[in-house]
Amino acid sequence: MRVFVAGGAGYIGSACTEYLLDRGYEVTVFDDLITGHIEAVDPRAKFIKANLADRENLKKVVKEGNYDAIMHFAAFSLVGESMKNPSKYFNNNLANAINLADAAVEGGVKTFVFSSTAATFGEPKEIPIKEDAPQLPINPYGESKLCFEKVLNWYSKIYGLKYAALRYFNAAGATEKYGEDHNPETHLIPILLQVAQGKREKAMLFGDDYDTPDGTCIRDYIHILDLAQAHEKALYAPKSGHYNLGTGSGLSVMQILEAARKVTGHPIPAEVVPRRPGDPPRLIADSTRARQELGWKPQFENAEAIIASVWKWLQKHPNGYSK
């Protein structure tokens, strides 16, 4: 099967590309390297450096490639930035994504797998979160992803494009070769490990007065290899649909901190600071649909195993992909 991976030089896209190649798929990575890294492109994949905003080039590339499926990871994903610059998010995450959907339709691609997000739900009323929970995003990032989910739904009805929108909860972990290298870094686990590396003096914990057992936010951490497994299984989904991807069990910020201390053997000093606006106390996925319809089962459900995979990658790449 020939798979076109938009955003394959990014954190999750690179892991999925590696996963597909290991299983015999023929993969083309399409990335403009604005936030991705050339070092994260698996050398077994064909690589095209280009931007989704160039509609005509994109249509040409997709048509000539004769692809069976498209996986779409190329998006901006900083919630805070989206509140300051919504235009950037709607242009890239929605308008450019529509360019890719149009290229899929015109190029005869049958299957489209979309990297969506739990941010489409906003502040949920019920935990765990089911796929049919109300989607009320509280930032332009979540709204841009939800808008494109709706586009795909209409393209499925009108053009027959089969799609799977995979709503990630908290992506984490690393493979042997590929890991997380963002600038700026906003994710909890790499920030904690940067303290252990001596790159930060301490970690900031945003709020310890939530209605949770230890007062810190609870999130559903999902390993990128489990996300990669879900993407492959989504290629064979019985019908178009949406799937929540999480382990179904939550871990608090304090639990992640303690696990990171255990894995690294470093005290990792941390300071509690006031809450960030818009941080819900709990976000936990109900991924029953993915398990039942896709046959998906996460393999990493232990905080220490997830953190250990990142720590191992950082031993080989202490400065990320920078030489």
Q: Which residue's structure tokens are 């739900």?
A: 121
**Please, how many CA atoms are within 13 Å of residue 293, restricted to the half-sphere of its CB?**
20
CA distances from 200 to 259, 268, 322 (A): 18, 9, 18
187 neighbors 138 (Cβ within 8 angstroms): no
3-state secondary structure of 166: strand
Specify the pairing of strand 251-252 against strand 218-219. Answer: antiparallel
Task: Pull the structure tokens for residue 26.
Answer: 């023929």
Burial class (CB in 10 A: 0-12, 13-18, 19+), 280: middle
Exposure string for 83-113, b = 16+ CB within 10 A, e = fewer: eeeeeebbebbbbbbbbbbbbbbebebebbb
List, in sequence order, every beta strand (DSSP E) within 22-110: 26-31, 46-49, 69-72
Q: Which residues contact 16 (CB under 8 A, 6 or more apart)?
A: 5, 8, 71, 73, 224, 227, 228, 231, 232
Report residue 300 CA to chain centroid gap.
Answer: 16
- Catalytic residue at 141? yes
5 neighbors 26 (Cβ within 8 angstroms): no
Q: How far apart are CA 152 and CA 27, in angstroms?
A: 22
Which one of the listed residues 141, 155, 163, 210 is annotated catalytic? 141
Catalytic positions: 141
